[in-house]
């Protein structure tokens, strides 16, 4: 009986120790659960912010699409070739009238250096007016150049080069208006 009582006492001590370990583990789990709940709340808040930003971005994208349609419509209705180049003279815009004049579409010339384009227009003669617009020393120049259109006909092309105003008022590029006489 003495032996059984000692075994019971030992077992009881082990159970108490195990119980204390379980209580400690339970406290740790409760703490972890609270941290997870806090993280979940932060994630929900971040998700709401992202949803708000997505909504704003969607609205701005729709507005930008409307403006792009308007600009495309204006560029097509003017009846002159319009090319827009950035400060490095890389073609950014090229309307359908340019395609009709020179035989190259926007997809053919986009991000190509304007002065390297192989079209019937002597583009090298526009180097100085372009540089003057980009440097801010000119508000624009007009030249009449002998050219050859996409059909191989000799034409006189009136080219107007004007600076493209940037957000700070400096030249962000140049606009070229091309019209055959």
- Over residues 8-52, the pLDDT tens digits come to 999 999 999 999 999 999 999 999 999 999 999 999 999 999 999
- Give the count of beta carbons closer than 10 Å to the beta carbon of residue 57: 10
Question: Which residues does residue 160 pair with via DSSP β-bridges, in sequence order?
Answer: 142, 177
Q: What is the pLDDT of residue 75?
A: 79
- Terminal Cα distance for the chain, rounded: 123
Coil vs helix vs strand at 114: helix
Count helices and strands (H / E) in the chain.
Answer: 4, 5
CB contact at 8 A, 151 and 136: no
Q: Where along the chain do its domains lie?
A: 1-77, 80-180
Nearest-angstrom CA–CA distance, 87 and 138: 15
CB contact at 8 A, 108 and 83: no
Confidence of residue 128 (pLDDT cuts 50, 70, 90): very high
Query: 80-180 in CATH: which number?
Result: 3.30.450.20
- Give the count of beta carbons closer than 10 Å to the beta carbon of residue 109: 23
- Give the count of beta carbons closer than 10 Å to the beta carbon of residue 72: 13
Share of the chain above pLDDT 70, in %: 100
CA dihedral 9, 14, 20, 26 (to 10 degrees): -140
Of the two residues 126 and 74, the one the predictor is more confident about is 126
**What integer best gives the mean pLDDT of the chain?**
94
CB contact at 8 A, 83 and 98: yes
């Amino acid at each position: 009986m003495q032996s059984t009582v000692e075994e019971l006492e030992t077992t009881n001590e082990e159970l108490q120790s195990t119980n204390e370990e379980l209580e400690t583990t339970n406290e740790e789990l409760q703490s972890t659960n609270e941290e997870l709940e806090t993280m979940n709340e932060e994630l929900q808040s971040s998700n709401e912010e992202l949803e708000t930003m997505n909504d704003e971005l969607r609205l701005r994208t729709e507005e930008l699409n409307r403006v792009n349609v308007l600009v495309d419509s204006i560029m097509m209705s003017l009846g002159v070739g319009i090319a827009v180049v950035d400060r490095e003279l890389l073609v950014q815009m090229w309307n359908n009238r340019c395609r009709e004049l020179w035989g190259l579409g926007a997809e053919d010339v986009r991000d190509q250096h304007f002065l390297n384009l192989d079209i019937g227009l002597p583009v090298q003669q526009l180097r100085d007016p372009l540089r003057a617009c980009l440097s801010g020393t000119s508000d624009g120049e007009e030249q009449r150049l002998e050219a050859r259109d996409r059909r191989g006909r000799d034409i006189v092309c009136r080219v107007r080069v004007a600076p493209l105003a940037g957000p700070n008022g400096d030249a962000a590029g140049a606009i070229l208006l091309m019209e055959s006489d």
